[in-house]
Amino acid sequence: MSIQMTIIGMGRVGASLGLALQSYKDQIERTGTDADLATLRKAVKMGALDKSVHNIEASVEGADIVVLALPLDEVRQALEIIAPALKPGAVILDTSASKVAIAGWVKELLPPERYYLTMSPSLNPEYLQEMDEGLDSARADLFKNSLMAITAPATTHPDALRLASDITALIGAQPYYADPYEFDGLMAAADVLPRLTAAALLHAITDQPSWREGRKVAGRAFLDATSPIADPIERKRYGQFALLNAENTIRMLDDMIQTLQEARDLIAGQDQDGLHEFLETALESREKWLSDRRAGVWDMAGEKVELPARGEVFGRLFGLRPKKEDKK
């Protein structure tokens, strides 16, 4: 007997998860679904899935674990569709970066004895500069030497948390247990703000009459500064991430505006020493972050999670199933 896992969404994260679990086929049977049939077929061909089911509701019937690897603006609709089809004891693992808002949807939509957690990957530092989010960018080692941010409601069964940790270990990542509110704050700074800043920069420059000539000389600085907007976290309804995390996002925007004002004042005052220090400190901060991120050595509480034995992984699921199901 093997664990039945359904992965919804065959983009980079979903397909990479399937590839990372390929060597555990004796333990986990990987079923996948995606709105695009050609993408789904390709995912099976490349070994990311054992089988595919095009209908999303049918794909989760009988699944022990359901992974949501979807753009943020498709998560609620997916939850609405799969909720009636989930069996008691099923565990839903959501890879999206939004925590508090989606937890509210889950409370509203999921029936009892279905367990929801989030597993947001930070990704292998080797692939930090890759922009493609599609199937072709899937890698079996996408999660290696990275952190997996795991959050869950306070009432979550401990076996569900341990199951998330087991899967994290199997794909080569280190679990990072986070408070949902705290994590939303971190993402407002590290993810939402760069996207909004890139959008603001584009509007500020390309809306000017001078852009007709400026576009001819815009180079790497412009490309790098605007690249976050080319990697949207939503598929169609852009900006939902910021709206769902509005309080934190507004706070970070206020901080950004204040910092830009400080830079403006330094330039207006022709403060060469102050501007030098402003830029030098920023450069040092970036270099320190990039060095730490590439090394992947963090001050984590607790010991590194070891690979779970086969019986341990199954045991998590048995602990989550209703007693009447265990007796059958």
- Tokens for 160? 């569900």
Residue given tokens 């099923």 in the structure block: 90
Cα torsion angle, 311, 158, 19, 63, sign = positive
Q: Do 180 and 100 touch, CB atoms closer than 8 A? A: yes
pLDDT at 137: 94
Determine how many CB atoms are found less than 10 A away from the CB of residue 121: 20
- Tokens for 115? 């367990």
**Radius of gyration (Cα) for the chain, nearest Å?**
22
Backbone phi, psi, residue 119, to 5°: -135, 95
Band of pLDDT at residue 312, cut at 50, 70 and 90:
low
Q: Do 111 and 82 touch, CB atoms closer than 8 A? A: no
What does the pLDDT average to over 309-316?
A: 57
What does the pLDDT average to over 260-283?
A: 98
pLDDT at residue 325 tops 90? no
Q: Do 130 and 211 touch, CB atoms closer than 8 A? A: no
Band of pLDDT at residue 85, cut at 50, 70 and 90:
very high
Say what the pTM is.
0.89
Q: Do 150 and 117 touch, CB atoms closer than 8 A? A: yes
Q: What angle do CA 141, 147, 153 make, to 5 degrees?
A: 125
Q: At a CB cut-off of 8 Å and minimum separation 6, what does 295 contact?
A: none
- 203 burial (CB, 10 Å; 0-12 / 13-18 / 19+) is exposed
Please, what are the domains in the chain?
3-178+302-323 (3.40.50.720), 182-268 (1.10.3660.10)
153-206: pLDDT as tens digits: 888 888 999 999 999 999 999 999 999 999 999 999 999 999 999 999 999 999
Band of pLDDT at residue 327, cut at 50, 70 and 90:
very low
